[in-house]
Amino acid sequence: MSTAEMVAGEAPRTAPAGDVILEVRNLVKHFQVGGGFLGGPPQVVKAVDDVSFTIRRGETLGLVGESGCGKTTTGRCILLLERPTSGQVIFEGRDLMTLSPAEVRRVRRKIQVIFQDPYSSLNPRITIGQMLDEPLAVHGIVPERKARQDRVRELLTVVGLLPSMASRYPHELSGGQRQRVGIARALAMEPSLIVCDEPVSALDVSIQAQIITLLEDLQERFNLTYLFVAHDLSVVRHISDRVAVMYLGKMAEITDRTTLYAEPLHPYTKALLSAVPIPDPEVEAERQRTVLGGEVPSALRPPPGCVFHPRCPIAIDECKRVVPECLEIRPGHRAACIRAPGYPAGAANA
Amino acid sequence: MSATTEGVLVEPASAARRRRWLDLTLSFCRRRPLGAIGAGVVIFMILVAVLAPWISPYDPLAIDFAAMLAAPSAQHWLGTDAFGRDVLSRIIYGSQTALIVGFGAAFIGSTVGAVIGVASAYFGGRIDLVIQRFMDILISFPLIILALAMVAVLGNNLPNLIAAMTVPMIPRCALVIRSSALSVREMPYVDAARALGYRHTRIILRHMLPNVMAPYLIMLTAFLGQAILLEASLSFLGLGVQEPTAAWGLMLRGAAVEFAETAPWMALFPGLAISLAVFAFNLFGDSLRDALDPKLRTG
């Protein structure tokens, strides 16, 4: 691995090590597929299978993985858009699963979302102004009508749009502008945690940089915490304080950004990192790449033992039988691989 | 699309919207002349109904025994009925009844149906299943049978008649709207609305319903013709509007049957009015569906 060269791509981050704002404990989300009357027994997709992590106030946790690995579902469970099959989502000390509908509505002010697709995430029948006005009115954040209009203009300015855009409809804006509106809508609620669900992967590269910079500015200005779901490793590396890697519904590895990119423990992380192109042809030509064989197995029939073993270059017989837990191997560095140096022997579930 | 939106960018939104509607209307007329003719007849009907007191030559209820069963002439263009009432005046006033009942039933039926359909799609799961099975039960009765049964239960004054006619329309509309709403429900902006902590009613009415406008308009126009026909049928069967109110279906029964051979104008002209109205509404509705269909597919 020649990760040392890539360290240059890391933005300096001064994450205040605040209190834990969000803790996800043993989150499980299963979806039933088919089945029912005359359809045979229903099959179960284990979209998220026993995932745990914490996020501290003011930091950015990057959540990466291939499509279908459950990273978006994890985000949706935190947003209460999906009801987890089991597990706990503890936000600011309260388990969201135990809240009443009225309490959930209050908590929702504090957890907001930015979606991937800037085209379908804005209601086409509502002007930008109405879109930003509505949450302020519904939640009584700014009860007075005149003051609300001022606040809408302020929000638009904050995300780098012209206040006059309030009278526009979404179809009159470009993709980058729409994504800014989506960010403004999330900010209107004055949240403390924002789940960014691949917020830049649908945008042009030049626009991506602008949106990332905007997100960073806003984080500093409003002391926001981000859960940054993405599959683009260089973007995640740029914006995150810590990075979590998921594979087939399981947490593979989680640690701070520098350690993950410099000394990954999990073979899947190593393979992922080696797939990131390096913008230097000489370095690119020299480095060794770990190319994984085969495809991601179907989440309907995950392999027994470690879900990664059929594609793992260092798998041994034990990997087919033992489900590795994601355990702390070094301080602040957890990985789910019994082959990782320092993995506690005999800790895995048979 | 992009060419027009770019021009729109510099204009104030309201003016742009007005121009867009004008453009849409003009291109509809050019592309679908039959639909435009239908729309023309519909507009003509509405004008006649509104202007009835000024344009009808006689009082539709005025009985003139001196001119009983008079053939069409200069005095009575479409003749008179068994009570000497002017047929033209009664057709003109009958358009009021037809439109009030037609629009009332079609509008209420498709609106209630749309709300139920969207709610059914939004909640999904068990609620969706129960609502859909209940709608299936209602839909299994033919339109007129169910309306007849409802009139028999409710009694036949005008509001009850409208209510009775909406009952068979609601499930038909709910079914169509639900299928469109299912795709709207998967849109991230609906998730965003949920994440913003809006209540279910707000999400359904403000964020989902406006986005199933195209199928809603199609159902509305399709129901207009059906509702007019249904009202005429119910009146003909004696379960709709009651004498002496002027209504097309009513004019076809009673004396009109008795004197069908000697005074055919009594039944002929109201029958023509019904056919023309239903035909016009259906032409307009069909063209509107064709015009809106591509948008339907893209959601």
Question: What pLDDT digit, counting tens, does each position of A11-28 carry?
Answer: 666 555 578 999 999 999
Chain A residues in contact with B295 (beta carbon < 8 A):
none
Average pLDDT over residues A264-283: 85
Domain ranges of chain A: 1-110+191-297, 126-190
B210, B181 contact by CB (below 8 A): no
Give me the CATH number covering residue B126: 1.10.3720.10
Taking domain A1-110+191-297, whether its CATH number is 3.90.550.10 is answered by: no
Phi, psi of A53 (to 5 degrees): -165, 165
More confident of the two residues A15 and A57? A57
A345 to chain B, minimum CA–CA distance in Å? Answer: 43
Cβ distance A81 to B192 less than 8 Å, yes or no, reads: no
B188–A contact, CB cutoff 8 A: yes
Residue type, B13: A
Q: Which of A186, A219, A218, A184 is nearest to A57 (CA)?
A: A219
B8–A contact, CB cutoff 8 A: yes
B13, A168 contact by CB (below 8 A): yes
Q: What is the DSSP string of B119-184?
A: HHHHH-HHHHHHHHHHHHHHHTS-HHHHHHHHHHHH-SSHHHHHHHHHHHHHHHHHHHHHHHHHHH
Phi, psi of A63 (to 5 degrees): -125, 110
Q: Which of B21, A302, B259 is nearest to B8 (CA)?
A: B21
- List the structure tokens of A257: 């950004």
pLDDT at A288 over 90: no
A287, A279 contact by CB (below 8 A): no
Alpha carbon A266 to chain centroid distance? 19
Rounded Cα distance, B272 and B270, in Å? 5
Chain A residues in contact with B12 (beta carbon < 8 A):
167
Cβ distance B189 to A189 less than 8 Å, yes or no, reads: no
Does some domain include residue B42?
no
Closest partner residue to A108 (CB to CB) among B9, B195, B202 is B195
E strands, A4-65, in order: 20-33, 43-56, 60-64
Write down the residue that tokens 């279908």 correspond to.
Answer: A68
B162 to chain A, minimum CA–CA distance in Å? Answer: 31
A245 pairs with which residues across the strands? Answer: A64, A253
Cβ distance B197 to A105 less than 8 Å, yes or no, reads: yes
B66–A contact, CB cutoff 8 A: no
What is the ipTM score, two decimals?
0.85
A106 to chain B, minimum CA–CA distance in Å? Answer: 7
Interface probe with A: pick from B19, B196, B198, B202, most Cβ of A within 10 Å: B196
Cβ distance A123 to B207 less than 8 Å, yes or no, reads: yes
Chain B residues in contact with A81 (beta carbon < 8 A):
191, 194-195
Residue type, A14: T
Contacts of A301 (CB under 8 A, 6+ apart): none
A33 pairs with which residues across the strands? Answer: A43
B197–A contact, CB cutoff 8 A: yes
Report the number of distinct structural domains present in chain B.
1
A160 to chain B, minimum CA–CA distance in Å? Answer: 18
Write down the residue that tokens 């979404």 correspond to.
Answer: A170
Rounded Cα distance, A236 and A230, in Å? 7
Polymer length in residues for chain A: 350
Q: What is the per-residue pLDDT for A32?
A: 85
- Residue in chain B closest to A169 (alpha carbons) equals B13
Rounded Cα distance, B170 and A169, in Å? 32
A151, A136 contact by CB (below 8 A): yes
Chain B residues in contact with A168 (beta carbon < 8 A):
13
Chain B residues in contact with A182 (beta carbon < 8 A):
192
Q: What percent of chain A has pLDDT over 90?
A: 50
Rounded Cα distance, A172 and B204, in Å? 24
Closest partner residue to B187 (CB to CB) among A105, A120, A182 is A120
Chain A positions with Cβ closer than 8 Å to B = 76, 79-81, 104-106, 108-109, 111-113, 115-117, 120-127, 134-135, 138-139, 167-169, 171-172, 182, 185, 189
Phi, psi of A24 (to 5 degrees): -105, 120
Estimate the crossing angle of helix A175-188 against helix A128-138, to 10 degrees: 10
Q: What is the per-residue pLDDT for A55?
A: 94
pLDDT at A217 over 90: yes
Polymer length in residues for chain B: 299
Q: In chain B, which stretches have pLDDT less than 70?
A: 1-14, 16, 293-299
Q: What is the per-residue pLDDT for B111?
A: 95
pLDDT at A91 over 90: yes
B128 to chain A, minimum CA–CA distance in Å? Answer: 16
Rounded Cα distance, B85 and B90, in Å? 8
B41–A contact, CB cutoff 8 A: no
Does some domain include residue B263?
yes
Give the containing element (helix H, strand E) for A75. helix A71-78
Q: What is the per-residue pLDDT for A189?
A: 92
B7–A contact, CB cutoff 8 A: no
- List the structure tokens of B168: 């068979």
| pTM for the predicted model, two decimal places | 0.82
Average pLDDT over residues A248-268: 91
More confident of the two residues A69 and B294? A69
Does some domain include residue B191?
yes
Rounded Cα distance, B38 and B295, in Å? 22
3-state percent helix, strand, coil for chain B, nearest multiple of 5: 75, 0, 20
Number of Cβ within a 10 Å radius of residue A205: 7
Q: Which of A184, A194, A219, A190 is nearest to A91 (CA)?
A: A194
- List the structure tokens of B249: 């279906």
B138–A contact, CB cutoff 8 A: no
Give the containing element (helix H, strand E) for B188. helix B188-195
Does some domain include residue B144?
yes
Cβ distance B13 to A169 less than 8 Å, yes or no, reads: yes
Q: Which of A327, A324, A321 is nearest to A304 (CA)?
A: A321
Number of Cβ within a 10 Å radius of residue B4: 11
B94, B247 contact by CB (below 8 A): yes
Estimate the crossing angle of helix B265-298 against helix B33-50, to 10 degrees: 130
Q: Which of A41, A50, A6 is nearest to A257 (CA)?
A: A6
Rounded Cα distance, A283 and A8, in Å? 14
More confident of the two residues B1 and A60? A60
Rounded Cα distance, A249 and A74, in Å? 9
B116, B209 contact by CB (below 8 A): no
Cβ distance A172 to B9 less than 8 Å, yes or no, reads: yes
Estimate the crossing angle of helix B33-50 against helix B87-123, to 10 degrees: 120
B184–A contact, CB cutoff 8 A: no
More confident of the two residues B159 and A347? B159
Q: Which of A166, A61, A172, A76 is nearest to A116 (CA)?
A: A76
Least confident range of A104-108, A114-118, A325-329, B4-8: B4-8
Q: What is the per-residue pLDDT for B12?
A: 58
Contacts of B34 (CB under 8 A, 6+ apart): B283, B287
Residue A144 is given by DSSP the state S
A266 to chain B, minimum CA–CA distance in Å? Answer: 33
pLDDT at A5 over 50: no
Average pLDDT over residues A180-193: 94
Closest partner residue to A113 (CB to CB) among B9, B195, B198 is B195
Cβ distance B202 to A138 less than 8 Å, yes or no, reads: yes
Give the containing element (helix H, strand E) for A335. strand A333-335
Range of the domain at B274: 74-298
Q: What is the per-residue pLDDT for A232?
A: 86
B198 to chain A, minimum CA–CA distance in Å? Answer: 7
